[in-house]
Amino acid sequence: MKRRVVITGLGVVTPLGIGREIFWQNLCAGKSGAAKVSHFDVTDYPTQIGAEVKNFNPLDYIDKKEARRMDRFGQFAVAAARLAVNDARLDTSALDWERAGVSVGSGIGGIQTLEEQMKVLYAKGPRRVSPFFVPMLIANMASGYISIEFGLKGPNTTLVTACATGTHSIGEAVRVIQRDEADVMVAGGSEAAFTPVAFAGFCAMRALSTRNDEPERASRPFDRDRDGFVMGEGAGIVILESLEHALSRGAHIYGEIIGYGTSSDAYHITAPDPTGSGARRCMAMALKDAGIPSTEMDYINAHGTSTDLNDKTETAAIKEVFGEHAYKLVISSTKSMMGHLLGAAGGVEAVASVLAIENSLIPPTINYENPDSECDLDYTPNKAKASPVSVAMSNSFGFGGTNASLIFKKYNG
């Protein structure tokens, strides 16, 4: 018997708000976090819109001295972790520190620091490069900062799997607890890639929407007129505990993670396998791990990026895995509102999936106006839907062909 793993705390820093309550409120209201990019001058960029985190003050969560030594992605991670720890009412000083760990990843890491220090190098020479450059840059420092902040001495790992990072990080943290290597894990993803070079790179790939005059309507997953994703930033962190540990301290349990699947397309560096084979195998593995029939699934928080290929292949894969039941599923893409948070997407979307179970409410896919004949499932168009959710799946697919799926279940004692 595998140890049962439950979620007891949720923390988010997103373009729709900071903290669980405002995030969920805006998500279910169908609000968009997209606007013209404000981090830098985008006049010469083909895409000029994005979903930035607004009104974030790191000093609300982090000591001033420490905050200055963190890249923005690290600040997001620590802030979201603190929100999750507080939400879980977890007294970290009372934990068995050697059995509490961290699994928090980032797809890109401290690229803001990299660009800033490159300017220093070229303008002022190598002696003026910050001694904190490397610690601020490397992706595992988000996990490291959290470990240090809360004194967690158990497993401390970082996965970098592009847009699947947050989902893989949570899935592997579940495995750590199931293997009895920890009782508590802080898990998720963080990303802050709004920099001139990173943004130019995504533009050069033609991956981003160019609907610059209508930023709030630009992200339109599964809609016939989708033209690319809207880049976002933020962090999503969950507190995972063994069921025994959660019960022993009387924790509120949001839900249980019962399945995790992962696969590779082995097809292309950025494009998904058009057959949907990798996504299909990933979801099928998660169902097998959960030990449930596909007909028990109620809701899928889709990867749903608003790109032509991704939305078609994910739809095809869902049909293959779920058969006729695919047409009974309720599906939505929360990226329609908060954009694509890259390495943080899976963490935030896990939070959305758990809250859908908690509240019996499915967040919508906004901007769904023109049906696509190849995307013919129920994507919860434009308005949230009240619906009991006992079992939910969250999908994340990343560059390099990497795929991850998590299955959450309502906790019934």
The catalytic position among 168, 282, 340, 375 is 340
- Which pLDDT belongs to residue 288? 98
- Which pLDDT belongs to residue 189? 98
The catalytic position among 28, 163, 203, 375 is 163
Q: Round to whole Å and give the CA distance between 399 and 247.
A: 39
R_g over Cα of the chain: 20
Whether 384 has a pLDDT exceeding 90, the answer reads yes
> Chain-wide mean pLDDT for the chain?
97
Q: Round to whole Å and give the CA distance between 237 and 292.
A: 26
- Which pLDDT belongs to residue 1? 78
Q: What is the mean pLDDT of residues 56-70?
A: 96
pLDDT digits (tens, 9 = 90+) for 335-368: 999 999 999 999 999 999 999 999 999 999 999 9
Burial of residue 9 (CB within 10 Å: 0-12, 13-18, 19+) is buried
Contact yes or no for 363/334 (Cβ under 8 A): yes
| Distances, alpha carbon 338 to alpha carbons 48, 85, 246, in Å | 16, 23, 31
Q: Please confirm, yes or no, whether 340 is among the known catalytic residues.
A: yes
Structure tokens, 190: 């963080």
Backbone angles phi, psi at 299, to 5 degrees: -145, 140
Backbone angles phi, psi at 231, to 5 degrees: -75, 140
Give, in degrees to the nearest 5, the angle at Cα 364 between 289 and 264: 35
Q: Which residues make Cβ contacts (< 8 Å) with residue 354, sequence separation at least 6? A: 7, 10, 238, 254, 255, 392, 408
pLDDT digits (tens, 9 = 90+) for 297-333: 999 999 999 999 999 999 999 999 999 999 999 999 9
CB atoms within 10 A of CB 324: 9
- Enumerate the H helices of 125-214 as residue ranges: 133-137, 141-150, 165-178, 196-204
pLDDT digits (tens, 9 = 90+) for 115-146: 999 999 999 999 999 999 999 999 999 999 99
pLDDT digits (tens, 9 = 90+) for 195-233: 999 999 999 999 999 999 999 999 999 999 999 999 999
Q: Round to whole Å and give the CA distance between 297 and 290.
A: 11
Beta strand segments in 243-363, E: 255-264, 299-301, 330-332, 361-362
State the distance between the two ends of the chain, measured CA to CA, in whole angstroms: 17
The catalytic position among 28, 168, 303, 375 is 303
Q: Round to whole Å and give the CA distance between 199 and 194.
A: 6
pLDDT digits (tens, 9 = 90+) for 70-124: 999 999 999 999 999 999 999 999 999 999 999 999 999 999 999 999 999 999 9
Distance of CA 323 to the CA centre of its chain: 27
pLDDT digits (tens, 9 = 90+) for 270-306: 999 999 999 999 999 999 999 999 999 999 999 999 9
- For domain 5-248, give the fold: Peroxisomal Thiolase; Chain A, domain 1 (3.40.47)
Local structure of 367: helix, strand or coil: coil
Q: Please confirm, yes or no, whether 375 is among the known catalytic residues.
A: no
Q: What is the mean pLDDT of residues 383-399?
A: 98
Contact yes or no for 215/252 (Cβ under 8 A): no
Whether 158 has a pLDDT exceeding 90, the answer reads yes
Local structure of 175: helix, strand or coil: helix
Backbone angles phi, psi at 105, to 5 degrees: -115, 175
- 413 pLDDT tier (thresholds 50, 70, 90): confident
Q: Please confirm, yes or no, whether 168 is among the known catalytic residues.
A: no
| Domain at 261-399, CATH homologous superfamily | Thiolase/Chalcone synthase (3.40.47.10)
User: Where does the chain hold its CATH 3.40.47.10 domain(s)?
Assistant: 5-248, 261-399
Structure tokens, 322: 């779920």
Q: Round to whole Å and give the CA distance between 18 and 24.
A: 10
